[in-house]
Amino acid sequence: MTAVGDAMYALVERLYPLCRSITGDGVRATLEIVGEYLPLQVHEVPTGTRVLDWTVPQEWNIREAYIADSTGRRVVDFADSSLHVLGYSVPVSATMPLAELRAHLHTLPDHPSWVPYRTSYYAPEWGFCLAQETLDALPEGTYEVRIDSALTDGHLTYAEHVVPGQVADEVLVSCHVCHPSLANDNLAGIAVATYLARALAERTPWYTYRFLFAPGTIGAITWLARNADRVQGASAARAEPGAGGRVEHGLVLACAGDRGGLTYKQSRRGDAEIDRVLRHVLRGSERPHRITEFTPYGYDERQFCSPGFDLGVGSLCRTPYAGYPEYHTSADNLDFVAPEAMADTLAVCREAFAVLDRNRRYVNLSPYGEPQLGRRGLYESLGGRSDAKQAQLAMLWVLSLSEGEHSLLDIAERSGLPFDTVAVAADALHKAGLIKA
């Protein structure tokens, strides 16, 4: 886990300098780098495309931006940080006094050395973000202001990666790729998603796992609009893995690399299988964590859980959005994220999906009285195990609750036994012909 934590941190380092937004070349450059780690299917959706109640906006790109004083010295320069420009700023080239310029400057007076992250996606505006101490040091006078940006008809870009499973029904894993130089929100989530996909590909999972790398809000809405047939209606046939089955479960990854404890935000349903799995895994792991109720504010879980779709999609992060002072500021930098924190987030995802993949319902084929386990060699198979008594008890619980209605997770929760112990017992009973899936 140390090695994979370091590898994820190195990916965050590569992505950190890029200027990302909800559209544009920064998103494409980000996906090109992720594409070195995973094969991606990249989608380009034209400006003006109607997506549910929204419309794909014009594409935004920026080449240069600065504020220069009367000597020509650049007191604020986009080249130093992609946070320095208000996201989606319209182009401007002008000279103006500081008094007029102030209306277009954004700072954080409570954190005078930090630069805020601000955007104006759907209203024509321009502006700069800078440290309050930088603004305080500016003398009155005339300043040259230049933002060399372009808003043109273009495309919204997102990408998918699919890990084929034994069935076509899918688990959706989503992360947002629209923020500029913010290491925890959103780069740590991108890194964890990338290495989670690589880990899942090392085996053949039960479900097909679809990874979505998309701009926040508008990207998720665009994906939902283009995949409505797979997120609504009857379940897809369990055939042709990777061909596009129904989305059965989902997880949004964000703020995945800070040193805080883990937080799982439940789906709108609150009792979706993914909710129960994450609760079980986090409680059983004894990690510091919080389980929170769904709210219609946050990341793209609010799109996937909107009432028309009502998908079983939760959100996993460490410290939640807006829950740490560094959120959406220049202090969310490479020093703020930790390799071991990303490795821990990845480990929880792997544990959760291992439970999700193995969770089955069984039918007891010898339901009249307790079957004789000894003559089938099931007790002998436990010989030498330190948890032999627990494993034997797990077999009895599986037999007792296998009537086709209780899942292995149900049994683990009711019995108080670890899920893995219950699943191993079910495997042994299945092999002995005492239960069937």
Residue 307 predicted with pLDDT over 80: yes
pTM here is: 0.94
Q: How many CA atoms lie within 13 A of 377 on its CB side?
A: 5
**194 and 331: one domain?**
yes
Token digits of residue 106? 């954004």
Residue pLDDT, tens place only, 368-383: 999 998 888 887 665 5
Average pLDDT rounded to a whole number, residues 305-319: 96
Number of separate domains in the chain: 3
Question: What's the pLDDT score for residue 231?
Answer: 86
Question: What's the pLDDT score for residue 245?
Answer: 74
User: What are the binding residues for Zn(2+)?
Assistant: 179, 185, 328
Domain boundary residue among 341, 357, 373? 357
Residue 353 confidence class, pLDDT cut points 50, 70, 90: very high
Residue pLDDT, tens place only, 221-262: 999 999 998 886 433 333 333 345 799 999 999 999 999 999
**351 and 370: one domain?**
no
How far is residue 436's CA from residue 78's CA, in Å, rounded to a whole number? Answer: 62
Work out the angle between the directed axes of helices 2-15 and 25-34 (0-180°, nearest 10). Answer: 150
Residue 130 predicted with pLDDT over 80: yes
Which has the higher per-residue pLDDT, 197 or 236?
197
Residue pLDDT, tens place only, 407-419: 999 999 999 999 9
**346 and 388: one domain?**
no
148: containing domain: 60-152
**245 and 336: one domain?**
yes
Question: What's the pLDDT score for residue 376?
Answer: 87
Question: What's the pLDDT score for residue 300?
Answer: 97
CATH at residue 414? 1.10.10.10
**216 and 233: one domain?**
yes
**139 and 163: one domain?**
no
Q: Which residue type is seen at 421?
A: T
**132 and 89: one domain?**
yes
Q: Where do we find the tokens 């380009």?
A: 44
CATH at residue 72? 3.50.30.90
**168 and 250: one domain?**
yes
**180 and 321: one domain?**
yes
Q: Give me the chain's average pLDDT, please.
A: 94
Count, residues in the chain = 437
**353 and 224: one domain?**
yes
Residue 404 predicted with pLDDT over 50: yes
Strand ranges for 346-416 from DSSP E: 361-364, 403-407
Least confident of 155-159, 240-244, 259-263, 274-278: 240-244
Domain boundary residue among 85, 118, 152? 152
**41 and 179: one domain?**
yes
Token digits of residue 248? 């059965």
Average pLDDT rounded to a whole number, residues 418-425: 94
CATH at residue 269? 3.40.630.10
Long-range CB contacts for residues 390-397, cutoff 8 Å, separation at least 24: 390/417, 390/421, 391/421, 391/424, 391/425, 393/417, 394/421, 394/422, 394/424, 394/425, 395/425, 395/428, 395/429, 396/370, 397/422, 397/425
Average pLDDT rounded to a whole number, residues 426-431: 95
Residue 385 predicted with pLDDT over 70: no
Residue 386 predicted with pLDDT over 70: no
Q: How many CB atoms lie within 10 A of CB 400?
A: 15
Token digits of residue 104? 């277009």
**264 and 347: one domain?**
yes
Residue 135 predicted with pLDDT over 90: yes
User: What are the binding residues?
Assistant: 179, 185, 328
Domain boundary residue among 152, 175, 207? 152
